[in-house]
Structure 1
């Protein structure tokens, strides 16, 4: 009987020894570890507000920012001398239609010596050069021309980045407003939200203004017509100006002479004062 169970006891003993060697003597049973998220403070007094001086660190991997295209603002000023203002206006209108431009402001001035028509023209950025060339060739003599280009890409990028950050802060403040526990915190958070909304409106308005100036260039066009002099011998040119100068010189001399004559009471009074003074002096000597 003992011989039958002896091999079984030996097998069981060997198996138990192997298990005891694999498990450490002071091993403790595994404990489930629970993960907890630290809740943000509920009030501003507990530093609930984000630090706006620091850049926002997104939890997810940052997306690659889209490259902003070049922002170039083109402006120009031209002054043309023309023979007929009305005829030139018709030519200007035809040129504007061809280049999809329009007149933003118009001002006309009529004087004794000339007529002036000042136009503020807005034209799509891509048609600006063609418009300037059309005005430079064929409708009058160019008296002056000034074209400038202003690169505002850096300003546009800076405003866009700040605007994106303000929108993120705005969402954070709105989340905090929903979890605010005191009236004081709610009022302070609402004031912060109002300030951010105003700053966002200003930034969006600035971006819209830049986009408008970039998409539509501005040209200040002046049309100038010199009037013919009233003199029969007067003609536009040196002879006309020489004759006008002689006439103006004679008129100035006549005006000066008349001005002197207008002082005739003083001319009568001065000799009388001299006569009285001499008479008084001679009487005093006697």
Structure 2
């Protein structure tokens, strides 16, 4: 009886080992399948491989892309306009009226006044749908356009790229937070927390970039310069005769004052004139004798 029990026990032991081997192989296959499902986007923070629950699956890149909604065209319009005017104050009033009627606002204003010109530089933000109307109103009704530069930049590709990466990072962030709940050791907790911190920083940067692009798309920017020349010629001016006549009188007075000041600046030489006259007369008297 003992001889029969010994072989039977050996068979049972071998069978158990085979079952364990099959179970181990099945676990390895499951782990391999889990690894294939992890498709980390190139922009995401590199994983530091902390020991975590293998049941947590990261989303594939295809799944993330499908969740990203379609993005409309993103066009940023900018412009630079320089206008010569006859009266700065009147031009300012016209600009304020045009800005108000187009639902725009003045973001920045700078005023300069020197001997030759008065100049006001304005940075105007206007809803993108009113940009063309605003530019045309300034070009037609304020003064003489000296220069005009309008540009349009298509940032749809950049916006889409940043949006997809942002979606990826938010999904990874949620997964890391789930992993943090199941972490067992202090090392794993610290590594996961560091990954979470880095992802949160990158998410803040991406969201800030998207807000900036949206602001530039929704509100176009126009840099307007109002220019009043104090000393003009008829060849460079297109304003009325009365204004040009006044400028001519001012120019003549300025020229006279400049001449007078130039003469006064020669006063040291005037002191030498009596000396030169005295020496000349003395030399002439000697020559006569």
Equivalent-residue separation in structure 1 for 2:191 and 2:50 (angstroms): 13
Equivalent-residue separation in structure 1 for 2:62 and 2:231 (angstroms): 77
Q: How does 1:56-205 map to 2 (within 5 A)?
A: 56-57=59-60, 63=66, 65-205=68-208
What are the Cα deviations for residues 169-211 of structure 1, in whole angstroms up to 9, with x where unaligned?
A: 1011111100000011101100110100000000000000000
Tell me, yes or no, if the aligned pair for 1:228 and 1:235 is still in contact at 8 Å. no
Query: Please, what TM-score do these two structures have when normalized by structure 2?
Result: 0.63
Superposition deviation, residue 112 in structure 1 = 1.6
Query: Please, what TM-score do these two structures have when normalized by structure 1?
Result: 0.64
Moved over 4 A (4+): 35-41, 44-50, 58-62, 233-237, 239-255
Segments of structure 2 that go 5 or more residues without pairing to the other structure are 1-25, 36-47, 233-243, 273-289
Superposition deviation, residue 49 in structure 1 = 9.8
Q: Tell me what 1:269 maps to.
A: none
Tell me, yes or no, if the aligned pair for 1:234 and 1:243 is still in contact at 8 Å. no
Segments of structure 1 that go 5 or more residues without pairing to the other structure are 1-34, 265-286
Q: Give SS of 1:83's match.
A: coil
Larger radius of gyration: 1
Q: Per the alignment, do residues 226 and 46 of structure 1 end up closer, same or farther by CA in structure 2, a change over 3 Å counting?
A: closer
Equivalent-residue separation in structure 2 for 1:93 and 1:60 (angstroms): 51
Q: Per the alignment, do residues 243 and 223 of structure 1 end up closer, same or farther by CA in structure 2, a change over 3 Å counting?
A: same
